[in-house]
Amino acid sequence: MSVPARSVPALRAPEPAPPSARPPAARPKPLSPPQRRARRGSTPAFWFLAASVVCALVFAVVALNALVVNTTYRTDDAQDRLRALEEAHEELEIEVARLSSPSRIAAWADAVGMVAPEPGGSVILRVPGEREHPADEG
Amino acid sequence: MLALFMLAFAGIVVRLAFLQVRDNPELEALGMQQRMRTVTLPARRGEIVDRTGVPLAVTREARDVYVDPRYVEDPASEATTIAEVLGLQRREVREALESDGTFAFIDRQVDLETADTLEALALPGIGFLEVPKRYYPAGELAPQVVGFVNIDGAGAAGLESEYDSVLAGTPGERTTELSADGLPISSGIDTAVQPVPGATLHTTIDRQMQYMAQAALERAVRDNGALGGTAVVLDPTTGEVLAMATYPGFDPNEFGEAPAEAMRNRTVTDAFEPGSVNKIITAAAALETGAVTLDRRFRVPSSMEVGRFTIRDSHEHPVESMTIGDIITESSNIGAALIAEQVGSATLGSFMERFGYGERTGIGFPGEASGVLLPADRWDEVIRATVSYGQGISVTPLQMANVYATIANGGRWMQPRLVRGFESPDGAFRTAERQPTRRIIRPDTADVLTSMLAAAVEEGTGVNAQIPGYEVAGKTGTSRKLDADGNYVQRYHASFAGFLPAADPRVVIAVSIDEPRTVYGGLAAAPLFQEIARYAIQRLAIPAAPPVASPPNDAETP
């Protein structure tokens, strides 16, 4: 079985406070807007300087990258030129070997009417101590 | 329901654990294998140069021309154009253009200029591969010595073959990581092991001397109506081969068109019966062992019965009293047989072995023949007699030249050399290995033999080898050839081997001519020796030397 509800006395409105002997305090004058102290780094000049530095850094990084890329291209170009020159040098060496071939020279000499010297008709002079080959002793 | 879900989730976790932990190494490797591609970077083949560094064999860039028939639009027209540019048969080109598949070679190792001309035409379906091509700038100079490479760039003959592993270098490889569509991943693996180029092979050949020897040999063969010939030029003090010529020759740049018989370096690969040039070994054995003294006299007829055979001198003459010096000077076969009788088969056979007969010189050339020398314990009196004057044995021209080099070198055998050494890509030079020298005969024996050979040129069968101002020491040889059944026929090898100056030898030259019309060594081969020797004097700046003392002979004996 449930317990019957009890009646709860109604709350009474609070009684007004008795009149005080002191007059009510005067309303304080409104103060001037509080003078905010200027915080460090918060002026437009600062932001401009900061932006300039950042821009400069970005520009420097971009310039460096561009320099690296440019240098890479130039290096590649130089290497290509070097390879081409080396190949050209090799081809010239081969051409020298072909042009100086004794059979070619003899055929050309025959064609222009030259004759071989008589035996003993030519002398080959050698420099004393001349090394003909890396394996030769000087 | 929740339990089922948890169970399934647990299964997934376990499976993940298996894949990510247990099977991770294997799966990772499989993935790498699928993505990675490795290609071989070919090594540049080393050069072959002469003793002065002039290239005899080099590698040039070339192009292989191929076709993808799927993209050919007008085979007939393209075939005509391509055939004209490449110098090919139109029919063969058209076959390639109309072949099945996606790839067919049209031509290989095309020179750059021709390939560029073809590439400029921008014919559909035609592509080009960069390949190396071997080139021989001196053309037909020493082709049998230098050799050539096959279409794949591997040595196929001569020094190119013998030293292929040194010339080929070490290929490299490049490994790249590819995406699913076969393109390289820019941030992926890209490693390379650079190829190591082959070494440069420095030969002992002198290009100028080689050319002159070849030219003189060709003239001698043609003038004598012969089949061919050989010439070897050696430095006796070092064993270096200055020239090694075989006629007929060929152009190694067109080796596919050359007859096979022209490709053999016959100075090394072919053996022949030397004839009378071999008598010097008989004399060496006699003098070195003391079996015959310089003043011993022999009664020498123009023919003699040996066993059931009759041996003869080259010409009829009355019985003559000859010393060993006379026998060499006059090149008497009977006299040589009589000397061999005094020396004995075992001793004579051993001296032939000591001079290098019956074994390869080890010069380092593919297919070098050892010649044929029967063991002395199988000789009868007939073989002893014939061997004494150079029949019944066979030697290579190089072996014969080395016999005379041994005498010229004061009796010391030196291994002949074709290779001076190898130059690596960084410029370091490594001298080729060689066998140590060995003494065969005493220096005083060599001196006496030299005087005999000088007399043979001065007043004997070798007069056509004389050179004014220089004393030449040498010996002629004329030997009968054998047919396919091993029977002697009336065809001959003519040869001459010698050195100069006699008192201070600087060059040894051995020449042979196959089936000259003039038959005899003194007529066919001695003039060839003279021509080559004249050039050698100029090329090597050989000074004259005082004459050697003559050996005792009939005229000097009271």
> Residue A99 has what pLDDT?
92
CA atoms of B549 and B556, how far apart (whole Å) = 13
Lowest mean pLDDT among A66-75, A115-124, B90-99, B258-267: A115-124
A33-79 pLDDT, tens digit per residue, is: 555 555 555 689 999 999 999 999 999 999 999 999 999 999 989 99
d(CA B161, CA B555): 55
In this predicted structure, the answer to whether residue B109 has a pLDDT above a threshold of 90 is no
Which residues, in sequence order, are CB contacts of B451 under 8 Å at separation 6+?
Answer: B325, B473, B502, B548, B549, B550, B551
Across the range B225-233, mean pLDDT stands at 96
**Residue-level pLDDT at A134:** 47
Indicate yes or no: CB of B208 within 8 angstroms of CB of A91. no
Residue with tokens 């199988």: B378
**Residue in A with minimal Cα distance to B49:** A97
β-bridge mates for residue B438, sequence order: B413
Beta bridge partners of B155: B149
Q: What integer is the mean pLDDT of B8-23? A: 89
pLDDT for residue B551: 62
R_g (Cα) of chain B, nearest Å? 33
Q: Output A27 or B359, whichever has higher pLDDT.
A: B359
> What distances in angstroms separate CA B114 from CA B107, B109, B252, B253, B257, one per listed residue?
11, 10, 20, 17, 21
The answer to whether B421 contacts chain A (CB < 8 Å) is: yes
pLDDT of residue B36: 79
Under DSSP, the state recorded for B420 is: E
How far is B324 from B286, CA to CA, in rounded Å?
Answer: 9
Mutate to test the interface with A, among B48, B54, B134, B540 (most CBs of A within 10 A): B54
- Indicate yes or no: CB of B139 within 8 angstroms of CB of A103: yes
Q: Do residues B461 and B330 touch, judged by C-beta distance below 8 A?
A: yes
DSSP B359: S
Report the residue of chain A nearest B60, measured CA to CA.
Answer: A91
Flag whether pLDDT at A11 surpasses 70: no
Of B393, B346, B390, which is closest to residue B370 (Cα–Cα)?
B393
Closest CB from A98, A132, A133 relative to B137? A98
Mean pLDDT for B198-217 is 96
* Band of pLDDT at residue B189, cut at 50, 70 and 90: confident
Interchain contact, A103 vs B431, CB within 8 Å: no
Interface contact flag, A133 B420, Cβ < 8 Å: yes
Distance (Å, whole) CA A70 – CA A78: 12
Measured CA to CA, the distance from residue B534 to residue A29 in angstroms comes to: 135
Q: What does pLDDT average to over chain B?
A: 91
Minimal Cα–Cα distance from B59 to chain A, Å?
A: 9
pLDDT of residue B553: 54
User: What tens digit of pLDDT does each residue of B482-526 get?
Assistant: 888 878 888 889 999 999 999 999 999 999 999 998 878 888 899
- Inform me whether the C-beta atom of residue B206 falls under 8 Å from chain A C-beta atoms: no
Subunit contact B431:A98, Cβ cutoff 8 A: no
Cβ-based contacts of B111 with chain A (< 8 Å)? none
**Whether the bond into B248 is cis, omega within 30 of 0:** yes
- What is chain A's alpha carbon radius of gyration, rounded to the nearest angstrom? 54
SS3 B53: coil
Chain A residues with CB-CB distance to B529 below 8 A: none
What distance in Å separates the CA atoms of residue B173 and residue B469, rounded to the nearest whole number?
Answer: 62
Is the previous residue joined to A4 through a cis bond, with omega within 30 degrees of 0? no
Report how far residue B238's alpha carbon sits from residue B421's, in angstroms, rounded to the nearest whole number. Answer: 14
> Which residue ranges make up each domain of chain A?
44-111
Q: Between these two residues, B188 and B400, which has the higher pLDDT value?
A: B400
User: CB B486: neighbour CB atoms within 10 A?
Assistant: 6
Q: Is residue B68's pLDDT more than 80?
A: yes
Residue B360, chain A, CB below 8 Å: the answer is no
Any idea of the CA torsion for B302, B303, B304, B310, to the nearest 10 degrees? 160
Q: How confident is the model at residue B554 (pLDDT cuts 50, 70, 90)?
A: very low
Check CB contact under 8 Å for B208 and A104. Answer: no
Which among A83, A95, A99, A103 is the top mutation candidate for probing chain B, defined by the most B β-carbons within 10 Å of its own β-carbon? A103
Rounded to whole angstroms, how far apart are CA atoms B214 and A103? 10
Which chain A residues touch B if contact means CB-CB below 8 Å?
87, 90-91, 93-95, 97-98, 100-104, 106, 119-120, 122-126, 132-135
Provide CB contacts within 8 A for B112, sequence distance 6+: B60, B61, B62, B63
- Given pLDDT bands bounded at 50, 70 and 90, which one contains residue A137? very low
Span B350-356, mean pLDDT? 96
C-alpha closest to that of B56 among B162, B210, B265, B171: B210
Q: How far is B41 from chain A (nearest CA, A)?
A: 17
pLDDT at A133 over 60: no
Indicate the pLDDT class of residue A21, thresholds 50, 70 and 90: low
Residue B238 has pLDDT above 90, yes or no: yes
The confidence band for B101, taking pLDDT boundaries of 50, 70 and 90, is confident
Distance in angstroms (rounded) separating the CA atoms of residues B302 and B455: 21
What is the rounded average pLDDT of the residues B310-333? 91
For chain B, helix (H) and strand (E) counts, in that order, are 18, 23
* Mean pLDDT calculated for residue range B212-220: 96
pLDDT band at B22 (very low <50, low <70, confident <90, very high): confident
Residue A12: pLDDT over 60: no
Residue B333: pLDDT above 90? yes
Instruction: Please say whether the dihedral angle defined by the alpha carbons of residues A59, A64, A67 and A68, taken in this order, is positive or negative.
Output: negative
Return the minimum-mean-pLDDT range out of B12-16, B39-43, B108-112: B39-43
From residue A12, alpha-carbon distances to A15, A17, A18 in Å are: 8, 15, 17
Rounded Cα distance, B404 and B355, in Å: 9
Residue A34's pLDDT is what?
54
| pLDDT of A2 over the 50 cut | no
Report how far residue B157's alpha carbon sits from residue B164's, in angstroms, rounded to the nearest whole number: 10
- Please report the pLDDT score of residue A126 as a whole number: 67
Tokens of B65: 């021309």
Residue B71 in tokens: 């993209």
Instruction: Check: CB of residue B347 under 8 Å from CB of residue B291.
Output: yes
Residue to mutate among B45, B203, B211, B500, with most A CBs inside 10 A, is: B211
Catalytic positions of B, please? Answer: 276
Burial-class residue A91 by CB neighbours within 10 Å (0-12, 13-18, 19+).
middle
The DSSP output letter for B98 is T
Q: What is the mean pLDDT of residues B11-19?
A: 89
Q: Which of residues 33-92 of B touch A (CB under 8 A)?
A: 51-56, 58, 60-61
pLDDT at residue number A132: 54
Residues of A in contact with B534 (CB under 8 A): 119-120
Q: What is the pLDDT of residue B199?
A: 96
Cβ contacts below 8 Å, chain A against chain B, sum to 66
Distance CA B556, CA B408 (A): 26
Kindly indicate the confidence band of residue A4, based on its pLDDT and cuts at 50, 70 and 90.
Answer: very low
Contact B406, B434 (CB under 8 A): no
Q: What pLDDT is attached to residue B521?
A: 81
User: Cα angle vertex A27, ends A25, A30, to 5°?
Assistant: 150
Residue B481 pLDDT: 84
Distance from CA of A54 to the nearest CA of B (A): 30
Instruction: Give the residue with greater pLDDT, B536 vs B28.
Output: B536
Mean pLDDT across B270-288: 95
- Evaluate whether B524 touches B478 at the Cβ level (below 8 Å): no
- DSSP letter at B555? T
Token pair 């065969």 in the structure block, residue: B440
Q: In chain A, whose CA is at the least distance from the CA of B541?
A: A124
Choose among B336, B335, B308: nearest CA to B319.
B335
DSSP secondary structure, B220-244, as one string = HHHHTT-SEEEEEEE-TTT-BEEEE
- Asked whether the predicted pLDDT for residue B115 surpasses 80, the reply is yes
pLDDT above 80 (res B183): no
Which residue segments constitute the domains of chain B, with CATH numbers given?
Answer: 63-69+76-86+93-110 (no CATH), 207-417+437-539 (3.40.710.10)
C-alpha A2/C-alpha B37 separation (Å) is: 89
Cβ atoms of residues B158 and B366 within 8 Å: yes
Determine the distance in angstroms separating the CA of B468 from the nearest CA of chain A, rounded to an integer: 10
- Smallest Cα–Cα separation from B77: which of B66, B93, B63? B93
With both helix axes pointing from N to C terminus, report the angle between B526-539 and B207-223 in degrees, rounded to the nearest 10: 160
DSSP B279: H
> Chain B window 365-404: which residues touch A at a Cβ cutoff of 8 Å?
none
Inter-chain touch A91–B60, beta carbons under 8 Å: yes
State the Cα–Cα distance between residues B550 and B448, nearest whole angstrom: 8
CA nearest B498: which of B486, B512, B487, B480?
B512
